[in-house]
């Protein structure tokens, strides 16, 4: 029988396997050794590997990021865990001015093998400062690599690849992905940077979904299939470097592209993918392209406004329908319920 794990279990398994294999791997972050263990992703690691290698930190994101960088410069491989990406704003100086630049500005004399895990997105009522997907901040800066896998399989392989990487990696996990289940092999394996995954093949339109939006795009694909529209769904997996060739091949075939991000659209990943597509497919006439993301407002907490704020499968499917039918938006796709949203239990 196929071995099935949740995304959170896949993260834990990757971390544990790599800590066993390589004694230089350490896990640091607020609450990594508490009874919740970062929603299970770091649970009991301190019991197996000791508190020198797995430790809670003071609430000092800037300083602790610098500490992790310093440990990396000394040959360790820190995984710095943040339960919200919003908190990385406190660490931008160390991440952008030091981690991203050290190899280059020191002429290749040093490496910073650092993994920064951070959780983005919706769960329920997380509001303005516990939900932001700021991954495009990091993809903007040369020197950082950014992973945002959507499946448990890729979560394990991408995290293993990140830990073994000799450059700093920002690892983006959407909160609602943690409960997703999927096939995860027991043995360690890596998935490569810069390689997108085609989650579903299709011929009429290309849907690129970033992080959790890959899951939502798969639902949109199912909705579209009910009316005979064949959507190809691509998960970039790696945001920097970005595998444009997979996306371009798909758009050459479908001539239609919708990029859905778990973030705002302005100057974001969706804008970047559309821009690169436009630059590379300038010879193709009539390619239609669209970005979909969070509404351009601050994330509200109340449920009815929050539902309007985030993209959803119906919104994506309707946009695809309208693109294919020259702006006709009369179709009303059936409402889907996302089990991970319905089942989500707060308050944490």
Choose, by CB under 8 A, the member of 15, 102, 254, 270 that binds other proteins. 102
Choose, by CB under 8 A, the member of 20, 93, 186, 201 that binds other proteins. 93
- Whether 216 is catalytic is no
- Binding part of the chain for other proteins, among 56-64, 132-140, 195-203, 227-235 by CB under 8 A, reads 56-64
Residue 68 interacts with other proteins (CB under 8 A): yes or no:
yes
- Whether 295 is catalytic is no
Residue 115 interacts with other proteins (CB under 8 A): yes or no:
no
Q: Can you read off the two tokens belonging to residue 119?
A: 């959780």
- Binding part of the chain for other proteins, among 141-149, 268-276, 278-286, 328-336 by CB under 8 A, reads 141-149
Residue 79 interacts with other proteins (CB under 8 A): yes or no:
no
Residue 37 exposure: Cα atoms within 13 Å on the Cβ side? 15
Q: Which of residues 296-335 bind other proteins (CB under 8 A)?
A: none
Report the first-to-last Cα separation within the chain, whole angstroms: 33
Buried b (16+ CB within 10 A) or exposed e, 108-120: eeebbbbbbbbbb
Residue 286 interacts with other proteins (CB under 8 A): yes or no:
no
Pairing of strands 145-147, 238-240: antiparallel
Residue 26 interacts with other proteins (CB under 8 A): yes or no:
yes
- Tell me 223's DSSP state: H
Strand partners, 259: 208, 291
- Binding part of the chain for other proteins, among 63-71, 117-125, 130-138, 270-278 by CB under 8 A, reads 63-71
Q: Which is nearer to other proteins, 74 or 282 (CB)?
A: 74
CA 61 to each of CA 178, 217, 248, 251: distance values in angstroms, whole numbers, following the listed order:
23, 34, 38, 41
How far apart (Å, rounded) are the C-alpha atoms in residues 318 and 337?
16
Residue 170 interacts with other proteins (CB under 8 A): yes or no:
no
How far apart (Å, rounded) are the C-alpha atoms in residues 222 and 205?
13
Residue 346 interacts with other proteins (CB under 8 A): yes or no:
no
Residue 66 interacts with other proteins (CB under 8 A): yes or no:
yes
Which residues contact residue 292 at a Cβ distance below 8 angstroms, ignoring those fewer than 6 apart?
A: 258, 259, 260, 261, 265, 270, 311, 315, 316, 319
- Binding part of the chain for other proteins, among 105-113, 210-218, 265-273, 310-318 by CB under 8 A, reads 105-113
Residues within the interface to other proteins (CB under 8 A)? 26, 52-53, 57-58, 60, 62-76, 93-94, 97-98, 102-111, 142-143, 145, 165-167
- Which sequence positions are flagged as catalytic? 61, 130
């Amino acid at each position: 029988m196929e071995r099935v794990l949740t995304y959170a279990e896949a993260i834990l398994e990757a971390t544990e396997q790599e800590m066993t294999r390589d004694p230089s791997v350490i896990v640091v972050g607020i609450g990594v050794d508490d009874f919740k263990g970062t929603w299970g992703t770091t649970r009991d690691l301190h019991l197996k590997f000791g508190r020198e290698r797995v430790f809670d930190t003071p609430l000092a994101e800037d300083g602790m990021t610098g500490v992790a960088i310093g440990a990396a410069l000394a040959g360790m491989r820190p995984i710095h865990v943040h339960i919200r990406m919003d908190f990385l704003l406190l660490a931008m100086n160390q991440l952008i001015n030091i981690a991203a630049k050290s190899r280059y500005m020191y002429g290749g004399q040093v490496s910073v093998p650092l993994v920064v895990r951070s959780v983005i997105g919706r769960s329920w009522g997380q509001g303005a400062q516990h939900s932001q997907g700021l991954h495009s901040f990091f993809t903007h800066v040369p020197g950082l690599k950014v992973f945002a896998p959507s499946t448990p399989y890729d979560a394990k392989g991408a995290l293993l690849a990140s830990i073994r990487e000799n450059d700093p990696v920002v690892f983006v996990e959407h909160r609602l992905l943690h409960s997703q289940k999927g096939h995860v092999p027991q043995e360690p394996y890596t998935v490569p940077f810069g390689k997108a995954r085609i989650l579903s093949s299709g011929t009429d339109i290309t849907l690129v979904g970033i992080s959790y939006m890959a899951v939502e795009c798969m639902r949109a694909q199912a909705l579209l299939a009910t009316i005979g529209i064949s959507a190809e769904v691509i998960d970039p997996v790696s945001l920097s470097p970005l595998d444009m060739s997979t996306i371009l091949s798909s758009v050459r075939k479908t001539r239609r592209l919708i990029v859905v991000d778990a973030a705002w659209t302005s100057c974001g990943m969706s804008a970047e993918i559309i821009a690169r597509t436009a630059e590379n497919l300038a010879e193709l006439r009539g390619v239609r392209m669209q970005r979909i993301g969070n509404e351009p407002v601050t994330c509200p907490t109340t449920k009815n406004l929050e539902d309007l704020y985030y993209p959803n499968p119906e919104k994506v499917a309707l946009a695809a329908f309208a693109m294919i039918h020259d702006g006709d938006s009369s179709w009303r796709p059936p409402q889907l319920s996302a089990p991970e949203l319905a089942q989500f239990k707060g308050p944490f």
